[in-house]
Chain A
Amino acid sequence: MEAMRDGRGLQVSADKEARSRRRWIEPALVIAFTLALTLPFIARPFHMDDAGFLELARVRQERPLEVALEDYTFFGQENEVFIDTHPPLISSYQALVIALAGSESETALHLSFLIFPLTAALSMYFLARRFTRYNLWASLLLMASPGVVVMSHGLMSDLPGMAMWLLSIALYLRGVERKSLATMVLCAFALTTGVFISYQVLSVIPLLLVYAYLRKELSVLTILPFVLPLSSFVSYFAWHQIIAGILPRFSYGVGEPMAWYSLVQKAVNVAISFGGAVIFTGALMRVLLRTRWDFTIYATFMLPMFVSMYFQYRAGEYTAIAVILAVLFMPVGIIFIYKIYEEIINRLRTEERERLADNVFLLLWLSGVMFYVVFLLPYSSVRYLLPIFPPAIILFLFLVERYYGLADRTARIVLLPVTVTTAIFSLLVAGADYELASANERFARTDGRRLAREAGAEGGNVWFVGEFGFRYYMEQEGFVELPEDNLVPAGDIIIQSPLADPRSFSSELGDRVELVDTIPYDGTIPLRVTNFNAKAGFYGHFWGLLPFSIATGSVEDFLVYRVEEDV
């Protein structure tokens, strides 16, 4: 008896030790994995909307609460006062980092932004623990997904927004579970920070409210975390109105978000992104397509997609590879969405009532983000879809649990390869994105300078057409963005990055410009994330419906125009 008790005691002690070890080792592994996927990209040139955030950060060095840019040309439109469409925190954080670093250093800024992927990874680790025993894999898979890897190398608000979104939810669920006031207070601060990073985080409030309602836990404690962000948001509105004379802007007002063609494009983009940007497609197919029935459904979706794409291929709209990728991604995406909905509805039917809140919560999270991306946002993009990644991955793990069971072997034979292939693929995608970012910087510092020297020798100036990272580095060289209606004197040079702004010149100027050179910048990785020809539109579906595509050759062809005399 004594010996048995001793033996059981030893077993309990060993279990406790193992749990304790797990408690530290697993988060450490999550941190190490996240750093491994981000640190190699720490010197990436500024890219995409990084430039817009930095523009405001620069202004906030002098005027920390400035919400507008003065005399700012954006996509050729001249604005006396340009109101930012983002909440203020990211630019303010950048301003602080710039002040501390003493310059707009890519490395310093990217290093300072590591806090966000790390927050996201750890939050996912603790949040997923509530839903699946594969919470470690949930966290690793989230951080390995192409969308997250690429966005974790930028300075935009999307990944920080997702990080605070996840942190808020993780804290809230823990706070409700433990009825902990301290956790709820922390949740309130995380939510408020999130709302001031990305307005989308506001949608966490109704989501969590429904969760508390379904758990029958509506109380002062569970409402508490929503009061601070809402009160702060309303106060910010009032202040913005007083300072800037108008309410904050939520959008640049481009496009027609509710037009039928826009809705279709966004819905297609969502499906394709599900198939290509969340988990490596091959790995996803390996898990999802298990039976003949699965393959039949896949083929059923593939066929109309193929027909549609074929006609576009024949019309010269799509390359063959783009067609293949679209035909590959979209049916997988649809099946992925279908399967996770099927899984959650199945769970709602079969699982005990106390899990109802958890399952409905995941369902609403997933559906809510899809709804606002398709119906409310001006265009679809992987970065806008980021908040959908965590529930999609948790639900993917539900499927894995169902198909392969809860065993260590499952982790070894399914999750490890899925995560590793996804991570490797994501690094390639991120590498391709890096090459494009780098091309803008290299062009400005080499060919841009050369063209300026040549134009200067003939008494001309250099203008540029393009936004994003291209604009940032061109402005660093002292070039000025060409306003749409500007009358440019003969002899001046105009450089255009078609990816950064494909606009054509005004009718007056269009007759006077002559394309004198096309300067291609090649990439070594045969993947493209932003490319009209390859139909890769990771940052927005107007570049292409695919999140990324396969292509070789130049990552960007910079166009050089000379302005001629008016005839």
Chain B
Amino acid sequence: MKGLVIDLAERLRQQQTRDILIVVAAVLLLTLPFINKAFDWDDREFIEFAQVFEQDPLEFHLEDLGYRGEFYEEFRTTHPPVISWYLSLFLRLGIDVSEAALRLAMIIFPLIAGVSMYSLGKRFTGYPLAAALLLLVTPGFIVTSHTLMGDTPGLALWLAAVAFYIWGVDKDSWKLLLAAGLVMALAVLTAYQALSLIPLLLFYTLVKRRFRLRSFVPFLLPVLVFGVYTLYLQQKYGAWPRFSYSVGLDFGWRDPSEKIRAILAFVGGGIIFPLAVIPLVRKKIDLLLVFLLLPPLLTWAIFYYLASADLTVYQSLWLALLVTAGFFLLFRILSEPVTNIYRLVRRRGGSSDTLFLLAWFAGVAFYVGVFLPFVSARFLLPLFPAVVLFFLQEVDRIWPSSTRARTLYISATVVLTLMTGIAVAAADYRLAGSGRSAAEDISAKYGGDDGKLWVLSEFGFRYYMQQQGFEYLAVNAEASPGDLVVMSRINSDQVLAPLPEGFYDVVERIDLEDRYPVRMLNREAGAGFYAHLVGPLPFIVANDPVDEITVFRLKWEE
């Protein structure tokens, strides 16, 4: 008997090892092909801070920086420092700033996320490998894991902290709880959103009724670390950490409704393949409520855009599909805990796990909806694991007695989600690449121009234009008539004011076409993966030009 147990444990260990190797292989397969992706979005900022930290890890500002048209003698970032600290380590080792090197360095984070999700999958579902793979292949995760930004690392550490903490509480292990505290502290300095781990994990303790001192000790570490960091910034700069660029902060009545719409669409499209959620609504009462609520929801979500001509009918159909999928997920995520609360209250069994997952989902959705300036797939990333775990729990409820049906359904969902994720990641890769190649082309064409060369854009395009010798046109710039200004529409949309009318001639307008038919950040296509202010869809099949580059020549009477 003892031998049998040992044999079983050994086989379980072997299976776990095999599963972990599959997760590692999956991460490598999903990231290595994109290793040369051009820098885009906030990558530039992380690189610049890494270069500062290379000299002094406690300098949390950039000097004399033009940003979003403004000029800052002392620019403090809105991101916590861990990622730039981490990248600076590689720079200290003498590694040059290159796309491949820095992206390779970042692979550690999806690996941490995959393994942590495996651990959580084991705790919350019977499908740890599926949980890890499904998270890794979601469009939101794949795309975000190809950046230098803090979102994937933040999620990875978030997951690791949750896994350590939950196993620590369940096994009453102070080592695991201590590890959770350390990882939480690291997570908070990677992405401020990780602060919400504190109420979330406290909630876990509450629903599990494990009120022991050691369950609370881990929270001291992130609080302490964040406190020290904050006090340091206060003492050095006389200011608190910056949490936002204050972009799009409009708390008018339209803004929350747009955010809710976008959250539903991003949850519906950015996580699990949209059509895979259909079986989630299967009970009579579920269908009744869906039939009751979905038409007004779709009317509200879709027709608003159609009526205001912000979206075409085709784009609205995409939005309808994604909002419906988001609604189905949200509906299950809400209804299952309600059932469980009822069961718990009536002492008829019921699991508090769904309550914890609901709190996880709702907490992230709440802070994205209320505190963050706009909705973005990367901001929503921390709620992806909750959705994946819920989804896999639901699979058991859909086919409780058919292993074959469950396996087929999960496999099909992983494959379809993977295909969507790869398609969106490829679109992202090409979009980033278009900025890099456009910068090279423009430099080749206008590099010898008599006028001074300026760039009036942010993000990746700015990075590559500056690499080509163009200067950033901020308010303090001393530009003269005859100078050339290059602007990328996608890299200036919502963040930069256009040049004042009458002070320029348009030299050239270049539509950057791409035959690859997926768009994930494109105002004409209605897609705003990185910011819903560009469009309410996380992605869409479309062939609109990926960007528009305009070359201006400045003119005025001197």
Judge if A228 is at the interface, Cβ distance under 8 Å. yes
User: How many A-B Cβ pairs are below 8 Å?
Assistant: 48
The residues of B that contact A238 with a CB separation of less than 8 Å are 296, 299
With a cutoff of 8 Å between Cβ atoms, the chain B residues found around residue A236 in the complex are 299
Which of the segments A5-13, A157-165, A216-224, A301-309 contacts the partner chain? A216-224
Is the beta-carbon distance between B313 and A64 smaller than 8 angstroms?
Answer: yes
Report chain A residues within 8 Å CB of B409: none
Residue of A220, A224, A235 touching B296 (CB-CB under 8 A):
A235
Q: Check: B293 CB closer than 8 A to any chain A CB.
A: yes
Which residues of chain A in 150-204 are interfacial with respect to chain B, using CB atoms and an 8 Å cutoff?
A: 181, 185, 188
The CA-CA distance from A449 to B357 in the complex, in Å, is 73
Give CA–CA (A224, B283) in the complex, Å.
Answer: 11
Q: Are B291 and A228 in contact, with the CB atoms below 8 A?
A: yes
Q: Which residue from A64, A223, A234, A239 sits with its C-beta under 8 Å from B288?
A: A223
Of the candidates B288, B294, B307, B313, the one whose C-beta lies within 8 Å of that of A220 is B288
For window 197-245 of chain A, which residues contact chain B by CB distance below 8 Å? 219-221, 223-224, 227-228, 231-232, 234-236, 238-239, 242-243
**How distant is the Cα of A231 from the Cα of B298 in the complex, in angstroms?**
11
CB<8 Å pairs between A and B, sample of 12 = A65-B313, A181-B282, A220-B284, A220-B285, A221-B284, A224-B287, A227-B291, A231-B292, A231-B294, A231-B296, A235-B299, A242-B307
Q: How near does chain B come to A228, taking the closest CB pair, in angstroms?
A: 4
**Chain A residues bordering chain B, tally (CB within 8 A):** 21
Of B285, B291, B293, B307, the residue contacting A188 (CB under 8 A) is B291
Closest beta carbon of chain A to B425's beta carbon, Å: 32
Chain A, residues 325-358, CB within 8 Å of chain B (1/0): the string is: 0000000000000000000000000000000000
The answer to the question of B295 belonging to the interface, with a C-beta cut-off of 8 Å to chain A, is yes
Q: Which of B285, B291, B292 has the most CB of A within 10 A?
A: B291
- B100 / chain A contacts, CB cutoff of 8 Å: none
Interface contact A181-B307, CB-CB below 8 Å = no
Compute how far the CA of A64 lies from the CA of B288 in the bound complex, rounded to whole angstroms. 29
A243 with B287: in contact, given A235-B296, A235-B299 (CB under 8 Å)?
Answer: no
CA A234 to CA B299, docked complex, whole Å? 10
A527 to chain B, nearest CB (A): 43
Q: Which residues of B contact A221 (CB under 8 A)?
A: 284
Report yes or no: A181 in contact with B303, Cβ–Cβ below 8 A: no
CB contacts (< 8 Å) of B8 on chain A: these are: none
A465-491 interface mask toward B, CB cutoff 8 Å, 1 = contact, 0 = none? 000000000000000000000000000
**A221-B284, A243-B307 given as contacts; is B292 within 8 A of A227 (CB)?**
yes
**Chain A proximity of B328: nearest CB distance (Å):** 14
B307 touches A65 (CB 8 A): yes
Report the bound CA distance from A235 to B282 in whole Å. Answer: 23
Cα–Cα, bound, A432→B383 (Å): 67
Q: Which 5 A-B pairs have the closest CB atoms?
A: A228-B291, A235-B299, A227-B291, A232-B295, A235-B295
> Restricting to A14-67, which residues have a CB under 8 Å from any CB of B?
64-65
Expressed in whole angstroms, the minimum distance between the Cβ of A466 and any Cβ of chain B is: 34
Q: Which of chain A's residues have a CB closer than 8 A to the CB of B307?
A: 65, 242-243
Which residues on B sit within 8 Å (CB–CB) of A219?
284
- In the complex the two chains form, what is the Cα distance from A224 to B295 in whole Å? 14
Instruction: Beyond A64-B313, A220-B288, list 8 extra A-B contacts (CB 8 Å).
Output: A185-B287, A227-B288, A231-B292, A231-B293, A231-B294, A234-B295, A235-B298, A242-B303
The chain B residues found within 8 Å of chain A, CB to CB, are 282, 284-285, 287-288, 291-296, 298-299, 303, 306-307, 313
Chain A residues with CB under 8 Å of B284's CB are 181, 219-221, 224
Chain B CB within 10 A, most for which of A64, A221, A231, A234: A231
Distance of A120 Cα from B303 Cα, bound (Å):
31
Which partner residue on chain A sits nearest B314 by CB separation?
A64
B296 neighbours in A (Cβ, 8 Å):
231, 234-235, 238
- In the complex, chain A residues whose CB is within 8 Å of the CB of B306: 64-65
Residues of A within 8 Å of B294, CB to CB, are 231
Chain B residue at minimal CB-CB distance from A226:
B291
List residues of chain A with CB within 8 A of the CB of B292. Answer: 227, 231
Least Cβ distance of A39 to chain B in Å? 32
Neighbouring A residues of B299 by C-beta, 8 Å: 235-236, 238-239
Contacts of A181 in B (CB 8 A): 282, 284, 287
Inter-chain CA distance A64–B316, complex, in Å, is: 11
Are A65 and B303 interface neighbours, CB within 8 A?
A: yes
Q: Contact flags (1/0) for A114-152 with B, using CB distance below 8 Å?
A: 000000000000000000000000000000000000000
Neighbouring B residues of A220 by C-beta, 8 Å: 284-285, 288
Tell me the complex Cα distance, A228–B289, Å.
9
**When A64-B313, A231-B293, A232-B295 are in contact, do A224 and B303 touch as well, CB less than 8 Å?**
no
Shortest CB–CB separation between residue B312 and chain A, in angstroms? 9
**Chain A residues numbered 242-295 whose CB sits less than 8 Å from any CB in chain B:** 242-243
Q: Which chain A residue shows the least CB distance to B303?
A: A239
CA distance A228 to B288 in the complex (A): 8
Question: A227 — which chain B residues lie within 8 A by C-beta?
Answer: 288, 291-292
**From residue A284, how far is it (CB to closest CB) to chain B in Å?**
42
Bound form: Cα–Cα A227–B292 in Å:
6
* In the complex, residue of chain B having the shortest beta-carbon distance to the beta carbon of A231: B295
Q: Does A228 lie within 8 Å of B303, measured CB to CB?
A: no
In the bound complex, CA of A309 to CA of B284 (Å): 58
CB proximity of B339 to chain A, nearest CB, Å: 15
Bound state CA distance, A235 and B295, in angstroms? 6
A217–B236 CA distance with the chains assembled, in angstroms: 74
Question: Separation in Å of the B286 CB from the closest CB of chain A?
Answer: 10
Residue of B nearest to A221 (CB): B284
Q: Which residues of A contact B298 (CB under 8 A)?
A: 235
Complex Cα–Cα for A223 and B303 (A): 27
Residue on B nearest A189 in the bound complex, by CB = B291
User: Which residues from B are CB-within-8-Å of A232?
Assistant: 295
* Cβ contact within 8 Å between B303 and A243: yes
Does the CB pair A224–B288 fall under 8 Å? yes
Q: Which residue of B lies closest to A185 (CB)?
A: B287
Min Cβ gap B81→A in Å is 48
Report A181 CB to chain B, min CB distance, Å: 6
Residues of B within 8 A of A188 (CB): 291
Chain B residues with CB below 8 A from A64, complex form: 306, 313
Return A149 CB to nearest CB of chain B, in Å.
35
Would you give the shortest CB distance from B504 to chain A, in whole angstroms?
35
Expressed in whole angstroms, the minimum distance between the Cβ of B57 and any Cβ of chain A is: 56
Taking each of B282, B287, B307, B313, which has the highest tally of chain A beta carbons within 10 Å of its own beta carbon? B287
Chain A neighbourhood of B295, CB < 8 A: 228, 231-232, 234-235
Chain A nearest CB: distance from B397 CB in Å? Answer: 16
Determine the distance from Cα of A178 to Cα of B92 in the docked complex, in whole angstroms.
Answer: 73
* Bound-complex Cα distance A224 to B282 (A): 12
Whole-angstrom distance between the alpha carbons of A65 and B308 in the complex?
11
Question: Distance (Å) between the CB of A140 and the closest chain B CB?
Answer: 35
Residues of A within 8 A of B287 (CB): 181, 185, 224
B129 to chain A, nearest CB (A): 32
The docked-state distance in angstroms from the alpha carbon of A224 to that of B284 is 7
